[in-house]
Every structure is written in structure tokens, then in C-alpha cells.
Homo-oligomer: A and B are copies of this chain.
Amino acid sequence: MRTRDRILEASVKLFNAEGVARVSTNRIATEVDISPGNLHYHFKTKEEIVEWLFRHLEGRIDPLLDDDAPMRALDDWWLHVHLSLEAIYDYRFVFYDLEYLLREYPRVATRIRRLTLHSLQSVRRQCGELARSGVMRASDEDLEMLALHIVFTGTCWLTFANVLPDPTRSQPPSGLAAYQVLSLLGPYLADEPAHYLHYLRSKYVR
């Protein structure tokens, strides 16, 4: 693996485990077993590392948001949600440290806001297609609210999972997020998709 990729890999591992604020670039250099000077040659600042990791996250989520293949069944949409939540979990430091990144790293903050807006627009469009295909019955106002709540859940659930009481926390947190997103759709689904939803949910919460 190239040194640059080894630095990024070690960084995401350390950031996820300890938070961005606590991990210094020297610490990352030690983890990769290179000199601080060598790390500096690849990335001038910690913000630059965070920015590149965020680009990797965008590289996984943006294609899911841009996919305009028709959404005619709950399953078409569900796969997109599932893969997005997996990407979010792999880069979970972004969401744990949201407030810190917004405050300290303006370039990353701009990218986070762009991705949020992109997510809102795409989820809104995808839910609209599900409504047009008869999978859901929902007004335009319902669809706006649903999109907002789904993106909110994807963005903040991992943080919330940390304050939940123990029995709930024994679930894998990305599974709980998936379960919550599915639950939001519940009351709007037609009968057949509602049964399928019940089955999907049972796969996420044991």
C-alpha cells in the first residue's frame, strides 16, 4: 500500500476510536511508522487528512444519491439506505465530532453542508418516486418531512446511540439506525410493502 493510503487508513481508525481532537499528526505518524516530516510531505495539516477522508466518504455516498434508476419497490430504495448507513458507520468520527469539525475546519464544514443538502434533495426525490409507484401514500408535506427525518437519523443516530441505556446499546449502532429509518416509513406504506418492512426490520433488531 502507498504511504499516503496507509496514513489515511491509520487516521480513520484512530479518529473513529478516539475522536479527531485527541489524535495528533505525530501520533498518526507513529502508528504508520514514518517520521513526522514524511507525514507532513503527504498532508500539511490534520484538516487536510480529515478533508481527504471526507472525500472518500462522499465517494461512497454521492453515487447512491445520484443513482436515478427507477424506484418501484421498497427494496430498490432500501439498498441505497443500507449502503449509505454502512459508509456513515465506516467514517463515524465525522458524525461523532460534527460540532468540532464545523467549528474548527471550515473547508470540511462546507463539504458536510453540501453533502447534507445533496442527501435531502435525493432522499426527497427517491421518496417521491416511491409515492408515485404506489409503495407509499404521502402528501408533498409528508415527503418533505420524511426526507428531513431520514437524513437527520442517518446523520445523528450514532451519537444518540451512545446515550441510550445498555440493552439498546447492545445492538450494532448502524443496525439501529437502519431500523429507525425503516420505522419512519411505516405509517405511510401500502399493505404489501408494510409486510415487507416488518420483515426487513426484524433483520436489524434481534
Determine how close the nearest CB of chain B comes to the CB of A145; give it in whole angstroms: 4
Number of residues in A with C-beta < 8 Å to the partner? 35
Which of A176-201 touch B at CB < 8 Å?
180, 183-184, 186-188
Chain B residue nearest to A99 in the complex (CB)? B96
Determine how close the nearest CB of chain B comes to the CB of A154; give it in whole angstroms: 10
Contacts of A98 in B (CB 8 A): 159, 162-163
What are 29 residue pairs bridging A and B, where the CB atoms are less than 8 Å apart in the complex?
A: A21-B100, A96-B99, A98-B162, A98-B163, A99-B99, A99-B159, A102-B162, A112-B163, A113-B163, A117-B165, A120-B165, A142-B186, A142-B187, A145-B180, A145-B183, A148-B180, A149-B149, A149-B180, A152-B153, A152-B156, A152-B180, A155-B160, A155-B163, A156-B156, A156-B159, A156-B160, A159-B159, A187-B187, A187-B188
